[in-house]
Amino acid sequence: MTFARAALALLAVGFATAVTAGCRTPTVGPRRAVSGSAHGGAFATGAVSRARPPRTFTIVFTTFIPSNYVLAPRIHPQSYRGLFPPKLLVFAGDDRGFDHDATCYRARQVVTVIPDQADDPTGLLVGSKQNLAGCSESFVASQALADGRIDDRDRVGALGEGGVEEAVCAADSGGMIIEDPVRLGPHTVSVRLRTARTGGPRNRLVFGSPSIDWWLDITIDTSGSEPTYQVAGTWDGYPAAELYINRQPVFQATPGLRPGSTGDLLKLLPGYGDVRFVARGTLKRSPTPSSVEPFGRRLPRRAL
């Protein structure tokens, strides 16, 4: 165990790097533990014994807006620019499908766990927790959508001139929480990813905007011939969500590529129509989740 923990310590040093919040962030992949240390008097004799690299599993949960844009709610006073006449604003989406390596998103959580107790009793790769927030961008709808979509020309303008972007603001990642793993057995560990009771990331360009909220319980078991996972959780149903373990997709759900609407934003209200799901399967490189049930089961609506 001494050799394995020494290997984890070396890995943690390389892992603990600063990450800047925003739409463009470094890609995330499985963390590979590096081990190798002298055993006893090996340095005197020249013999070197290498410990087995610990099996690590990197979990990545991301929420993103698949459409190119979302129109601001017409009933909110901050949805407009100017008074004579007021001009409706539009917010940029992430404009993408499912992608583990995408650098544009609303929020992302990353953590690496170690199921085997012999490798690490805590079950956590030290320094692997990351709570990352994207950025919100607003534009005057009549200008930015003149060609039907928001693109880089709206941000910087044609030929490098000023664009029509109104404001940019990074979301607050303070409401995103990754709890310490809980060991359920010598080869089983569970970790919870969630948002705070006060809410998760939100659009800070609009006062009082609802937050994106979720909780996920992820259990990984390596006692069998192949590692298995089970995920149980709840999320708002908007925007899209994707969950990967060592780059394998284990949960994916999307409202589609149509532009986001006020109805979509209402799903972010507490208890308005949260979606509960369970996913389980074997951790091997497969293009689709092994078993998910079901994406569309909505919880009872509570009084707002």
Positive or negative torsion for Cα 249, 190, 20, 267? positive
Please state the pTM of the whole predicted model: 0.76
Q: How confident is the model at residue 164 (pLDDT cuts 50, 70, 90)?
A: confident
Task: Locate all alpha helices (DSSP H) within 100-166, ordered by sequence.
Answer: 141-144, 152-156
Q: Which residues of 99-122 are buried (b: 16+ CB within 10 A; e: fewer)?
A: eeebbbbbbbbbbbbbbbbebbee
Q: What is the pLDDT of residues 80-102, one digit of tens each?
A: 787 778 888 999 999 999 999 99
Among 178, 187, 32, CA closest to 111: 178
C-alpha–C-alpha distance, residues 197 and 218, integer Å: 20
Decide: 94 and 106 in contact? Cβ < 8 Å: yes
**Band of the pLDDT at 262, cuts 50, 70, 90?**
low
The domain ranges of the chain are 2-293
Q: Where are the beta strands (DSSP E) in the chain?
A: 57-64, 69-71, 80-81, 87-92, 107-113, 130-133, 135-140, 165-170, 176-178, 182-185, 188-195, 214-221, 228-235, 240-245, 248-253, 275-282, 292-293
| pLDDT tens readout for residues 89-147 | 999 999 999 999 999 999 999 999 999 999 999 999 999 999 999 999 999 998 999 99
Give the distance, in angstroms, between the CA of residue 133 and the centroid of all CA atoms in the same chain. Answer: 9
